Chain A
Amino acid sequence: MEEEEEGAEEQQRFSHQQRLKAAVHYTVGCLCSEAAADTQVQLSRQAVAAIAEVTFRQCENFAKDLEMFARHARRSTINTEDVKLLARRSNSLLKYITEKNEEIAQLNTERKTKKKKKLEAENKNSVEPAEAGGVESEN
């Protein structure tokens, strides 16, 4: 019984994995065709498939590393710091990620300020009906 369930789960996982792999393969194919157009260099299908496979496995490694980094910092959530640590090898990638991180941080702060204003307005509104409700109940 359990084995069957496990087998079913495995099959599910496998199919899920296959779908993910297919998605990656498709994306890699698009990128490779763009690169081929830029550099006038043709890429065979086997090469594209190899690149897709390597990308998929590297993504698995990245996920494991991210989890290890988060655990190393005694956190249970993966942080942008973990991502930066992961991308430290490639300077350009690191720069890109840090820039993106700053952008996102700015957006977050902006959103927070907006949300605060909204919340304050909402609180005022909600307090009055609550008070009214309370008064009514008392009565």
Chain B
Amino acid sequence: MEGSYIPDSEPTTRTLLRRLLDTEDPHTPRGRQSTRASARRTPLETPFSMRLRSQTKTTTRRHSHGARSIGRLAHIQTSGRLKEQTPRTLLENILLTAPESSMVVPESALKPVPAPQVVQSPSGESSRGSLELQLPELKPPTTLAPGLLLALGKRKQRLRLSEFQQGVDQELPLSPGPLTEPHGNAGASSLTSSLNLALATPPVPQSVQRPGLARRPPTRRAVDVGAFLQDLQDTSVALALPGDSLRTPVATLPTDTVLEDTQPFSQPLIGRSPNVRHSLPCPSSSAERTVGRRTQSSGPRLQNNSPGRPDQLLVGKAEEVDALAVGFPNTSNSSSGEDGLQPLQDGVGEEAEDVMEESLSMSDEEEAAGAQGSARAEEPKTHKEGTEAEGSWGATEAKELEGPSRDKDTAGRTGSPELTSITLEFQQARQLEFLEPAQPTSTAVLPPEPLSARRPPRARTAGPRLRQDPYKTGLSHYAKLFSFYTKMPMEKAALEMVEKCLDKYFQHLCDDLEVFAAHAGRKTVRPEDLELLLRRQGLVTDQVSLHVLVERHLPLQYRQLLIPCAFSGNTVFPAQ
């Protein structure tokens, strides 16, 4: 009977139990069984646990064919009382049904089952079964099926082994920590579940559901990111064109065509994008002069927007990005002509909050101009999903988001929450991604200099889209460190000011590095330039050299994080 339906050759629970069955006598009294089982259990437990952990999936898969065993078990159990069965048959039943008690959903299987089980199982040895049940810590499964365990009290040692295996199966998804303690408990629960399963239909569909719900398709976003980033970069450059003379000009026509090609609803975008571009530079140019006015004007607008929006959180985040985006044209005042991207960063730091409100006002104007809300919302959102944030992207996104929300267009709104959630995730991913490289710098107060000094090539060659989000998230990370070191609560305005100052500071450092390299007649930043920079900072002295600083503040694991950034040609994208 055993060999007929135990077809596995792997060292799994089945094989182990089989060994047990082979070695054990079929009719041993409980006392002897207990001693033997306990003696045998401990050496078997660890291999069980190891194997279970490694092969839980395989066991679950293989035991899909346990349907026939279930049927047989049901027949066995329904035909006679449990006490009449031999331990072998019981163990075999357990073997057959053990995998059925899926590790994924033990509770759900247990709960509906215990009722019939209690009815069926005879209550012979109540004391022992209850003792076994009470020992472990898992409450619901054990309490659910005390009757079962009572019935199986005779074979509790062997059941414990199987219980342990099943318990491990169940324990693994729940808590992979202390397996030693809740052995019996888990085993009891799993045993009951397994037995219940024998009587009831196995919870295979339930177990399948959970993994299905947990996962989401990640690949889809990656593709969108690249295309969308490109679009955003084009749009951002086009947007920045009128306001910033230093920026390298990009023809608006190609960007329009690009947008047309990529977006499903090209026509409405064409109508809107010029409005966006034209309207953006005008307020952005004035943004520099009148900060207070904007805040006041945008205040009531914000209040108007807030009540009717399902995606306020996202807008809040998008506002930051908007600030970055609209900050592009604002950076014309900073005259570092070597790289057009530099003004971006300056604008980011300076105009973050102001431009955010500007973008809100911008969206208001767009609304008034004539809105095809749903179409507009869908266009940028499809792009937003995949790409990293760029300034213009953030601007358009916020406008799009605000558009549908303000239009009270149900179609737009229904579309927006999904996409806004996706964009939220995306922004979070961006922030997380940038936080990783930023974290190494948090080890010491000094490291910002070497880290930022080593990053200037990255800042220069990467497109504006890359600089915005990781830069901003890094700054927010530093601001949080700042608030931690102050040991006092800080206002948001103060934190933002700190971010601005940090932004200027890092920009300055990078500029210095460039200038130093040029001073030596080079186009590449070399360690000598870094040394000069740190010497000016007062970090590198005659007593402390550059290498000493590196060893002190950049341990190897952080350097290993930095090296891929540098060797990737400064094209680092956040992980999806």
* Residues in chain A within 8 A of chain B (CB atoms): 65, 68-69, 72-74, 81-82, 85, 88, 91
Q: Do residues A73 and B532 form an inter-chain contact, with CB atoms below 8 A?
A: no
Chain B residues contacting A85 (CB-CB under 8 Å) are: 515-516, 519
**Known contacts A68-B532, A68-B535, A69-B532; can you find 19 more A-B pairs with CB under 8 A?**
A65-B536, A68-B536, A69-B519, A72-B516, A72-B519, A72-B520, A72-B528, A72-B529, A72-B532, A73-B519, A73-B520, A73-B521, A74-B520, A81-B519, A82-B519, A85-B516, A85-B519, A88-B515, A91-B335
List 10 tightest A-B contacts by C-beta distance, closest first: A72-B532, A73-B520, A85-B519, A72-B520, A73-B519, A68-B532, A68-B535, A65-B536, A72-B519, A85-B515
Specify which chain A residues have a CB less than 8 angstroms from the CB of B515 in the assembled complex: 85, 88
Within B93-121, which residues are at the interface with A (CB < 8 Å)? Answer: none
CA distance in complex: A91, B337 (Å):
13
For the complex, what is the distance from the CA of A69 to the CA of B512, rounded to whole Å? Answer: 12
Closest chain-B Cβ to A9's Cβ sits at a distance in Å of 20
- What is the interface of chain A mostly: helix, strand, loop, or mixed? helix
CB within 8 Å of A: which B488-531 residues: 515-516, 519-521, 528-529
* Size of the chain B interface, CB-CB below 8 angstroms: 11
CA distance A85 to B516 in the complex (A): 8
Q: How far is the CA of A82 from the CA of B515 in the complex (A)?
A: 11
Q: B195-217: contact bitstring with A at CB < 8 Å (1 yes, 0 no)?
A: 00000000000000000000000
A2–B540 Cα distance when bound, in Å, is 31
Considering the chains assembled together, what is the distance between the CA atoms of A68 and B519 in angstroms? 12
Cβ distance B81 to chain A, nearest Cβ, rounded Å: 93
CB distance from B521 to the nearest CB of A (A): 7
Nearest CB in chain A to that of B532: its residue: A72
Contacts of A74 in B (CB 8 A): 520
**Measured CA separation A69–B519 after assembly (Å):** 8
Q: How far is the CB of B525 from chain A (nearest CB, A)?
A: 12
Question: Which A residues touch B520, using CB under 8 A?
Answer: 72-74
Chain B 120-153 interface mask (CB, 8 Å, partner A; 1/0): 0000000000000000000000000000000000
User: Closest Cβ of chain A: how far from B182's Cβ, in Å?
Assistant: 67
Which of chain A's residues have a CB closer than 8 A to the CB of B528? 72
Using Cβ atoms and an 8 Å threshold, which residues of chain B touch A65?
A: 536
A82 to B532 CA separation, bound complex (whole angstroms)? 13
Taking CB atoms, residues of chain A closer than 8 Å to B535 are 68
Contact residues of B between 256 and 307, Cβ < 8 Å to A: none
- Alpha-carbon separation in the docked complex, A85 to B521 (Å): 13
Closest to A82 in B: B519
In Å, the complex CA distance between A95 and B1 comes to 98
A81 to B521, CA, bound (A): 12
Complex alpha-carbon distance, A88 and B337, angstroms:
13
Query: Which residue on chain B has the smallest CB distance to residue A61?
Result: B536
Task: Please report the C-alpha to C-alpha distance between residue A14 and residue B8 in the assembled complex, in whole angstroms.
Answer: 93
Closest to B511 in A: A88
Q: How far is the CB of A1 from chain B (nearest CB, A)?
A: 27
What's the minimum C-beta distance from A18 to chain B, rounded to whole angstroms?
Answer: 25
In the complex, 15 of the A-B residue pairs with CB atoms within 8 angstroms, ordered by the A residue number, are A68-B532, A68-B535, A68-B536, A69-B532, A72-B516, A72-B520, A72-B528, A72-B529, A72-B532, A73-B520, A73-B521, A74-B520, A81-B519, A82-B519, A85-B519
Residue picked from B515, B519, B520, B521, most chain A C-beta under 10 Å:
B519
Contacts of B532 in A (CB 8 A): 68-69, 72
Q: How far is the CA of A2 from the CA of B516 in the complex (A)?
A: 41
List, in ascending order, chain B residues with CB within 8 A of A91's CB: 335
Q: Which residues of B are found within 8 Å of A72, using beta-carbon distances?
A: 516, 519-520, 528-529, 532
CB distance from B538 to the nearest CB of A (A): 10
Which residues on the A side are within 8 Å of B521 (C-beta)?
Answer: 73
Enumerate chain A residues within 8 angstroms of B536, measured Cβ to Cβ: 65, 68
Min Cβ gap B526→A in Å is 10
CA A74 – CA B519 in complex, angstroms? Answer: 10
- CA A73 to CA B529, docked complex, whole Å: 10
Report the Cα distance A82→B529, complex, angstroms: 14
Closest to A69 in B: B519
Measured between beta carbons, the chain A residues less than 8 angstroms from B529 are: 72
Q: How far is the CA of A85 from the CA of B533 in the complex (A)?
A: 13
Across the interface, name the chain A residue whose C-beta is closest to B529.
A72
Q: What is the CA–CA distance of A85 and B517 in the complex, to the nearest angstrom?
A: 11
How long is the Cα–Cα vector from A69 to B517 in the complex, in angstroms? 11
Compute how far the CA of A108 lies from the CA of B335 in the bound complex, rounded to whole angstroms: 31
Nearest residue (CB) in A for B521 is A73
CA distance A9 to B532 in the complex (A): 31
Assembled-state Cα–Cα distance A69/B516 (Å): 8
State how many angstroms separate the Cβ of B426 from the closest Cβ of chain A: 38
Q: What 1/0 mask marks residues of chain B from 311 to 325 whose CB sits below 8 Å from any chain A CB?
A: 000000000000000
Closest to B512 in A: A88
B518-576 residues at the A interface, CB under 8 angstroms: 519-521, 528-529, 532, 535-536
| B535, closest chain A residue (CB) | A68
Expressed in whole angstroms, the Cα–Cα distance for A81 and B536 within the complex equals 17
Bound Cα distance from A68 to B538, whole angstroms:
13
Distance between Cα atoms of A68 and B516 in the complex (Å): 11
Q: Shortest distance in angstroms between A93's beta carbon and chain B's nearest beta carbon?
A: 14
A82 to B516, CA, bound (A): 10
Residues of A within 8 A of B519 (CB): 69, 72-73, 81-82, 85
Residue among A65, A72, A74, A82 having the largest count of chain B Cβ atoms under 10 Å? A72
Closest to A85 in B: B519
A105 to chain B, nearest CB (A): 19
Smallest CB gap from B516: residue in A: A72
Q: How far is the CA of A81 from the CA of B515 in the complex (A)?
A: 11
**A69, chain B: closest CB distance, angstroms:** 6
CB of B143, distance to nearest CB on chain A (Å): 75
Residue of A nearest to B528 (CB): A72
